[in-house]
Amino acid sequence: MGVVQDGVQYIIRLDMQRDGLPFRKIVQMVDDLEGDIIAWDLVRAEDQRTIRDLTVLIATAEKLRALVNQLSGLEGVRVENVSDRTFLMHLGGKIEIRPRVHIKTRADLSHVYTPGVARVVEAIAEDPSKAFQLTMKRNTVAIVTDGSAILGLGNLGPKAALPVMEGKAVLFKWLANVDAIPLCLDTQNVDEIVETVVRIAPEFGGINLEDIASPRCFEVERQLTERLDIPVFHDDQHGTAVVILAGLINAAKVVGKPLESMRVVIAGIGAAGTATAELLLHMGVHDIVGYDRMGAIVEGESYPGHPQWETLAKQTNPHHRTGTIKELLVGADVFIGVSTGNLLTPEDIQGMAKDAILFLMANPTPEMAPEIAQLHAKVVATGRSDYPNQINNVLCFPGLFRGVLDSRAKRVTVGMKVAAAHALASVVKNEELGPEYIIPSVFNREVSERIAKAVIQAAEKDNVSRRLTKV
């Protein structure tokens, strides 16, 4: 049966005798296993047999196996295949390349390819900036990964990373009409990653780094930003930070506290935690304590292998706080978790300031069960879609890259990230704000449009835009 996951819709294909279909028995089997029949579809009918797809929602992998065994034991029934809807959606991959122009005549061919294309080649050779106008570069992003930090699953390699990168390409197109090409590199060496991306960069208008483990991701982004004249954006860092900032802007309104006055504890000082701290510092939030497996990040300590911690220690934790996470949370207004599941207990957060804000971002298991956290805090957000206030970087990257490409920006500035956060926060109207609604849905199509416009304006303000008045 392959990979089986609890609480999923499964499709069981049955080869059955045409006469005396045991449907009533099947219904009883599913019911006895506390499952639900979603669909009972005829695939094809033959003289003596029928092929049907039974779609069921079942709670556990063990119950699915029990159902399959029971179905196999029915007289005249043979189980052909068991699959789930997730795997079916991935068959053959999730993206494809289609031409924007169609060739119907010999004349069309001569314009699209030889001999006409030669004139376009010469025009770009004479003025390379015309590649933005005359090629796919103007609307294409590379999604680059080394497969070392896939969705919190860990270092599973470039092939295992491809389904995630394909999914991200789908989101780019669906939400912002950006063409994105996954590039899963078979190396985890910083120099090799950088050299590879530099060599393929002429094709692209931007580089989206994805699922590259910390601290390697910081050096990859730094070197590529220095060497390329197109934006390089590590979404796990900055996309997450932008959405967290947007959520905090609105959460601050809900609790009636100025953002810059808040005491913040960030658990997990990896890619997302570091970028979030840096963005909050830019917003004027100075009382920030970073916490990781070595404890609180404090100036004067040595952090071998984590140079970003030493830099952050000089900028944060002005009161040199140390201790357990419970001790650090005493009097804090905000907890941001980008760490590990079940880190917190109710006792840990009971000492926080009145109307506390909790961003429980560990996935799939948050730092604390959200339903329990809601009993102790004013605002609770998570990275999950089955609770209110989902902090998901899909709210940022499509619109941000739409703005980056349309402005032909040289790089992504802090001003562009802040503009994106304010634009995202503004989608939730003041009269709509509440403890369970501080951030819009990922299905709100207004999000990408607002962010793109804000990013274009910020790029022009920061003098990194190369947009022409006429294209």
At 101 the pLDDT is 92
- For residues 302 and 424, membership in a common domain is answered with yes
Q: Is the dihedral of CA 384, 388, 391, 393 positive or negative?
A: positive
- For residues 67 and 124, membership in a common domain is answered with no
At 470 the pLDDT is 37
Please say which residue of 31, 57, 90 terminates a domain: 90
Three-class DSSP category at 42: strand
For residue 405, being part of any structural domain is answered with: yes
Distance CA 165, CA 443 (A): 19
Please report, for the domain that includes residue 326, its CATH number.
3.40.50.720
For residue 262, being part of any structural domain is answered with: yes
- Residues 113, 159, 314, 461: which is the catalytic one? 113
317 is in an annotated binding site: no
- For residues 180 and 209, membership in a common domain is answered with yes
User: Number of structural domains, the chain?
Assistant: 4
| Complete edge-to-edge strand list for the sheet that includes strand 379-382 | 295-296, 288-292, 264-267, 334-337, 357-360, 379-382
- For residues 109 and 185, membership in a common domain is answered with no
211 is in an annotated binding site: yes
Burial class (CB in 10 A: 0-12, 13-18, 19+), 76: middle
Nearest to 25 by CA among 67, 84, 78: 67
113 catalytic per annotation: yes
31 is in an annotated binding site: no
Please say which residue of 178, 209, 230 terminates a domain: 230
At 5 the pLDDT is 46
210 is in an annotated binding site: yes
User: 218 lies in which domain range?
Assistant: 140-230
Q: What is the DSSP string of 194-229?
A: HHHHHHHGGG-SEEEE-S--TTHHHHHHHHHHHH-S
- For residues 197 and 242, membership in a common domain is answered with no
- Residues 137, 168, 410, 417: which is the catalytic one? 168
Distance CA 247, CA 6 (A): 31
For residue 14, being part of any structural domain is answered with: yes
At 17 the pLDDT is 85
Distance CA 207, CA 232 (A): 5
With beta carbons less than 8 A apart as the criterion, state whether 80 and 51 touch.
Answer: yes
Please report, for the domain that includes residue 16, its CATH number.
3.30.70.260
- For residues 20 and 66, membership in a common domain is answered with yes
Q: What single DSSP character describes residue 421? A: H
For residue 2, being part of any structural domain is answered with: no
Please say which residue of 66, 90, 114 terminates a domain: 90
At 153 the pLDDT is 86
Q: What single DSSP character describes residue 342? A: T
Query: CB-based contacts of 195: which residues, under 8 Å, 6+ apart?
Result: none
For residue 98, being part of any structural domain is answered with: no
Please report, for the domain that includes residue 213, its CATH number.
3.40.50.10380
- For residues 344 and 373, membership in a common domain is answered with yes
- For residues 153 and 263, membership in a common domain is answered with no
Show the low-confidence residues of the chain (pLDDT under 70). Answer: 1-7, 20-21, 468-471
At 21 the pLDDT is 66
Global pTM reads 0.86
- For residues 442 and 396, membership in a common domain is answered with yes
For residue 210, being part of any structural domain is answered with: yes
392 is in an annotated binding site: yes
Q: pLDDT digits over 350-390, tens only?
A: 999 999 999 999 988 999 999 999 999 999 999 988 899 99
- For residues 333 and 466, membership in a common domain is answered with yes
For residue 96, being part of any structural domain is answered with: no
The tokens 């063990």 sit on which residue?
62
With beta carbons less than 8 A apart as the criterion, state whether 299 and 320 touch.
Answer: yes
- For residues 35 and 184, membership in a common domain is answered with no
For residue 15, being part of any structural domain is answered with: yes
- For residues 252 and 390, membership in a common domain is answered with yes
